[in-house]
Chain A
Amino acid sequence: MNKSYLGIFKMEFKGELQYRNKAISGIFTQFFWGLLQIYLYVAFLNDTPVNGFSISQMATYIWLGQAFFAMRFITMPKRTGDNIVNGNVSYNFVRPLDLYNNWFCENLGQKIAATLLRFPLIIVIALFLPGNLKMYAPVNITALLLTILGIILGICLSVAISMFAVYLTFKTLSQKGSATIVATISGLLGGIVIPLPLMPQSLQNVINYLPFRFISDLPFRIYIGNIGITEGLIFLGIGIAWLIVLIIIGKLLIKSALKNTVIQGG
């Protein structure tokens, strides 16, 4: 990677590492939310598998979702949004950098740091929980490797999708609103609200091929063995294709937004 973009990545990575309390409170929230969700589904489903999705698989799916919440949930770094809204983006313009790549690296740095800070502790605790709450080990070592690949792809996809929030911020000058819209759509279609295997089959036929499910649903289901290795590899290919498409669309959108940008005030 180009040294300058690596520098931006590192800056945001280091910045995120400073916020230890944010990470700790994040871990607590994720942990209790995970417990709540599992109890809820256990109460409703009463040990019967839905769409071939057993209770133990579901618990594992939910714990993975909580452990990697920072990665799968669409956010925009505060700096990126702030700069666009208050006009500091002027300084982004006077650097010899591609602005899309600049923001992409900013967001990637923040996402990776936030994820690394949170996931180990949640997974370690979840692996030792009793009964229905327990998170299970991956079905086999190939599945684990494929899961790791899928999570790396997922982080990139998550960032590529968040670039649409950056675009919307240019249009609306509201960073919170923009991030919320993109995060809501992505959360619903990506399995954050309801695990995708619990959705009606007809809906799944569509959602399975939209980019959002490749962020986290795919690697998690490879991990629990709900998607086999061959099928998983094919899906990973589709995910990579989506990543390329999303980056191209994002770049075009940002370019058009920059053309019409007016920096207000002195």
Chain B
Amino acid sequence: MASIIDFTDICKTFKVPLRTKGKFSMFKNFFIRKYKTIEALKNITFKVNEGDIVGYIGPNGAGKSTTIKIMSGILTPTSGNCVINGYVPWKNRREFVKNIGVVFGQRSQLWWDVPIMDSFELLRDIYKIPKDEFDKTLKLLNDALNLETLLNRPLRQLSLGQKMKCELAGSLLHHPKILFLDEPTIGLDAITKLAVRDFIKFINKKWKTTIILTTHDMNDIEALTNKIILIGKGQILYQGSFEKIKENYASSKTITVEFAKDYDNIALDGYEITNHEKRFATLKNLPSKQFHPKEFINEISKNYEIIDFQVTSLSVDEILAKLYKQYEIIER
């Protein structure tokens, strides 16, 4: 399959004024300003195929939004090459943006004090969408997102979830080839989150839209993406399937055990005791130790009398936290 996004060696540096501490520093800073350069992105290289849903993840401040802004033509990188859908985003901005849709989860693209439908009609004029095509698309989005009752109300009267549905619809009216979603599920309740996820999948299937998604919600990643790119401190640390990462961590288990009576001290070969309180204890297998339920029962029953136990694998959030720790990319 042809790649639709081709990012090669993109770097972006920002110059920020340094603030010194101490007496009169505000006054001094007013006249003498020192700058330091921050490398927001360092040699970012990746490819995205047509029709993919790519999850772009990393801790806060890793450079996710900066990448999205470069991809959507808002920022010019300091160096490097990028071809998206045959265009260099920041060079032929006006031509390029006709084929992309963007949703910034924390901002709004619709007009605040007019009915949603007026905003949509203005977008129709801006993108020069033919009338019949617009009606067809709107009907499709309407059915998929249940917008019917919202279209006549101004944006300011809508809840966050309703707003996000309208924002999504607004970004898709012109039938873009690529959709950039910057934290689309931020602040949404469970039901709306599921609806938004279903909708993203639906559009991807129906239109073969390539979707780039940043999020902190790992369930989004699990439910939607077929490829992830992990970024930290401005560098790509991993790209590939999320399943692979999960496999790497699949062997670590957490076992909660209930004993028949109180034990003063608990110890078991190959396991680390992370918590022990009266008749309950939490154990984790060490990396060298493979967990087998039968073997585990045999070993622990030798010295202790147990009533019940429960095994849990790492949640996706925990896996990610481990990954961040492993790569030391958490901001301090």
Contact = CB atoms under 8 A, between A and B. Distances in A.
A97 B94 contact: yes
Interface in A240-266: 259, 261-263, 265-266
Contact of B72 (A7, A8, A94, A261): A94
Given A90-B74, A259-B76, A97 B109 contact: no
B97 A90 contact: no
Contacts of A94: 72-74, 97, 100, 102
A96 B98 contact: yes
Contact of B102 (A6, A91, A263): A91
A88 interface: yes
Interface in B76-129: 76, 93-95, 97-98, 100, 102, 104, 106-109, 111-114, 118, 121-122, 125-128
Give the most central of A4, A8, A88, A266: most B CB within 10 Å.
Answer: A266
A90 B113 contact: no
B69 interface: yes
B101 to A, nearest CB: 8
A8 B124 CA distance: 11
B75 interface: yes
Given A93-B72, A93-B73, A266-B106, A11 B94 contact: no
Contact of A7 (B75, B94, B126): B126
B114 A15 contact: yes
B93 A93 contact: yes
Q: Size class of A's contact patch?
A: 20 to 34
A91 B109 contact: yes
Contact of B107 (A18, A90, A95): A90
A19 to B, nearest CB: 9
Give the most central of B65, B98, B107, B121: most A CB within 10 Å.
Answer: B107
A7 B124 CA distance: 9
B198 interface: no
A87 B107 contact: yes
Contact of A14 (B60, B76, B114): B114
B263 interface: no
B97 A18 contact: no
Nearest to B183: A266
Contact of A263 (B75, B95, B98, B111): B75
Q: Size class of B's contact patch?
A: 20 to 34
B35 interface: no
Contacts of B207: none
B238 interface: no
B104 A96 contact: no
B191 to A, nearest CB: 25
A128 B74 CA distance: 55
Contacts of A18: 113
Contacts of A95: 97, 126-127
A47 interface: no
Contacts of A261: 75
Nearest to A18: B113
A57 B7 CA distance: 68
B14 interface: yes
Contacts of B69: 90, 263
B73 A11 contact: no
Given A91-B107, A93-B72, A3 B128 contact: yes
B65 to A, nearest CB: 5
Contacts of A98: 94
B116 to A, nearest CB: 13
A265 B106 CA distance: 10
Nearest to B122: A7
B173 to A, nearest CB: 12
A52 to B, nearest CB: 48
B114 A11 contact: yes
B121 A96 contact: no
Interface string A59-87: 00000000000000000000100000011
Interface of A: 3-4, 6-8, 10-11, 14-15, 18, 79, 86-88, 90-91, 93-98, 259, 261-263, 265-266
Given A93-B97, A94-B73, 18 more contacts: A6-B125, A7-B121, A7-B125, A15-B111, A88-B107, A90-B69, A91-B108, A93-B72, A94-B72, A95-B97, A96-B98, A97-B94, A98-B94, A259-B76, A261-B75, A262-B75, A263-B69, A263-B74
18 contacts: A4-B125, A4-B126, A6-B125, A7-B126, A8-B122, A15-B113, A88-B107, A88-B108, A90-B107, A93-B72, A93-B74, A94-B72, A94-B97, A94-B102, A96-B97, A97-B94, A259-B76, A263-B69
The 6 closest A-B pairs by CB, nearest first: A7-B125, A91-B109, A4-B126, A93-B74, A7-B122, A94-B102
